[in-house]
């Protein structure tokens, strides 16, 4: 049995080595935060490209400065692909993907494979924290037996917690330090050590009674957004049929100082959380004989949005006497949200595929994504088009899918033949602008 006071003191004195497993949109900001307050941090990732870049003091995520990475390298940060070094770490924070498979069921392979890779090198006195979004019960059902496989007892020798990530890439109003951190431990001792780990780096730590409660908290946060976005997307379709601008309506409703939170419609849901997380609960609820109709309905509405945008594009071209087949269409913005380079689950990519499937010739422009990246399920050999007057005029239509601040909206409005606006950027009705 370890001395819990000694473990806690190691974090409080900032003498612990923090291990962060998975150096992406969640792991990298967390590394920078721990490094900034004086901890030595070991980043562990299976991707040699990421590890080599970070060790060279470079960044591969647009909103994370290479200057900050280089500074971290000089002050106690190192990246590695060598899992044998797990034993050096006092904390292991798992920030790995939890996508859906083709049947819209949880793909736990990253979490399970990562835990299995850590297993041989776990030792007494460590705390293992899972941050990946997942269904309630994952920490108990998948991590607990694996962590204890070598004879370590959770709560006595080693400590196990769940603390969901809450990153919002591109949001200048929040940073890792200022976003409250929810944490649940497998035992009271686990929670105590987990709090000692996180309270050094995060301004406010919110304790809950169990890892399950923490897992459910993260799902509720994202389901709340998914359901409300589904509602406003459905309202958009109704308002459009009635000749009403849904963006005007949302803005007006948002003046109510209580009982209303504004959500804005778009071309569908993107990012690693909002389109995926609701299905984690839907899948797990079946085990308890429950059918989450509300969640699934919002998912259906949101998944139908790219098709809705395609229909608006086809209507606009049709009114101009053109078919989509053979038309040149420029998609503006292929990241999932404005002002970031994150392509995960981007509805823009689905819109591009739908256009291509109908015979359209598709191109894109995105100042944050200069070359279309290699993706598991989507393949385009394209580079970002320059937004010049001449280039804009050469396309039969442009689809505004992601409203980056870097776009010259006045130039787009004056030079594009047809604009399909899925983001409500153009509020003044114009003959060549279609709201979608």
Question: Which one is catalytic: 89, 95, 190, 273?
Answer: 273
Please, are residues 400 and 423 in contact by the beta-carbon 8 Å criterion?
Answer: yes
The full length of the chain comes to 436
- Residue 273 annotated to the active site: yes
Token look-up 């601008």 returns 245
Burial class (CB in 10 A: 0-12, 13-18, 19+), 213: middle
Please name which of 149, 147, 110 lies closest in space to residue 131, comparing C-alpha atoms: 110
Print burial letters for 322-349: b (CB count within 10 Å at least 16), e (below 16): bebeebebbbbbbbbbebbbbbbbbbbb
The DSSP secondary-structure symbol of 130 reads E
Q: What contacts 238, CB < 8 A, 6 or more positions away?
A: none
Under 8 Å between Cβ of 232 and 246: yes
The residue with tokens 């997942």 is 134
C-beta of residue 127 within 8 angstroms of C-beta of residue 86: no
Closest CA to 222 of 281, 182, 179, 268: 281
Cα 86 to Cα 31, 120, 261: the distances in Å are 16, 9, 44
CB neighbours of residue 291 within 10 Å = 10
User: Strand, helix or coil at 302?
Assistant: helix
Catalytic residue numbers?
A: 273
């Amino acid at each position: 049995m370890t001395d819990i006071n000694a473990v806690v003191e190691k974090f409080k004195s900032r003498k612990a080595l923090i291990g962060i497993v998975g150096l992406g949109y969640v792991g990298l900001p967390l590394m920078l935060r721990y490094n900034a307050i004086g901890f030595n941090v070991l980043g562990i990732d299976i991707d040699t490209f990421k590890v080599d870049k970070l060790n060279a003091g470079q960044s591969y995520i647009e909103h994370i400065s290479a200057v900050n990475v280089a500074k971290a390298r000089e002050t106690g940060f190192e990246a590695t692909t060598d899992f044998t070094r797990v034993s050096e770490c006092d904390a292991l924070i798992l920030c790995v993907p939890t996508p859906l498979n083709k049947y819209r069921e949880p793909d736990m392979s990253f979490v399970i494979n990562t835990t299995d890779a850590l297993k041989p090198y776990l030792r007494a006195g460590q705390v293992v924290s899972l941050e990946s979004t997942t269904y309630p019960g994952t920490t108990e059902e998948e991590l607990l037996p694996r962590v204890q496989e070598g004879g370590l007892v959770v709560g006595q020798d080693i400590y196990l917690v769940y603390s969901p990530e809450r990153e919002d890439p591109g949001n200048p109003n929040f940073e890792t330090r200022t976003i409250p951190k929810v944490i649940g431990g497998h035992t009271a001792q686990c929670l105590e050590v987990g709090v000692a780990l996180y309270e050094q780096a995060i301004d406010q730590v919110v304790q809950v009674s169990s890892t399950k409660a923490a897992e459910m908290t993260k799902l509720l946060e994202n389901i709340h957004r998914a359901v409300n976005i589904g509602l406003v997307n459905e309202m958009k379709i109704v308002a459009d049929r009635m000749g009403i601008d849904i963006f005007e309506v949302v803005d007006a409703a948002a003046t109510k100082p209580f009982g209303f939170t504004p959500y804005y419609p778009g071309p569908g849901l993107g990012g690693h959380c909002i389109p995926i997380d609701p299905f984690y609960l839907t899948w797990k609820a079946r085990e308890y004989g429950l059918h989450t109709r509300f969640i699934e309905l919002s998912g259906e509405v949101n998944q139908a949005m790219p098709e809705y945008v395609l229909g608006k594009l086809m209507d606009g071209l049709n009114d101009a006497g053109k078919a989509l087949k053979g038309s040149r269409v420029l998609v503006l913005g292929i990241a999932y949200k404005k002002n970031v380079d994150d392509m995960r689950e981007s509805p823009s990519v689905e819109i591009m595929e739908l256009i291509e499937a109908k015979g359209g010739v598709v191109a894109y422009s995105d100042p944050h994504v200069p070359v279309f990246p290699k993706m598991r399920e989507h393949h385009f050999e394209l580079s970002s088009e320059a937004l010049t007057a001449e280039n804009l005029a050469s396309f039969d239509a442009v689809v505004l899918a992601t409203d980056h601040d870097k776009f010259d909206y006045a130039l787009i409005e004056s030079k594009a033949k047809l604009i399909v606006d899925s983001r409500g950027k153009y509020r003044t009705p114009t003959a060549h602008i279609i709201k979608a």
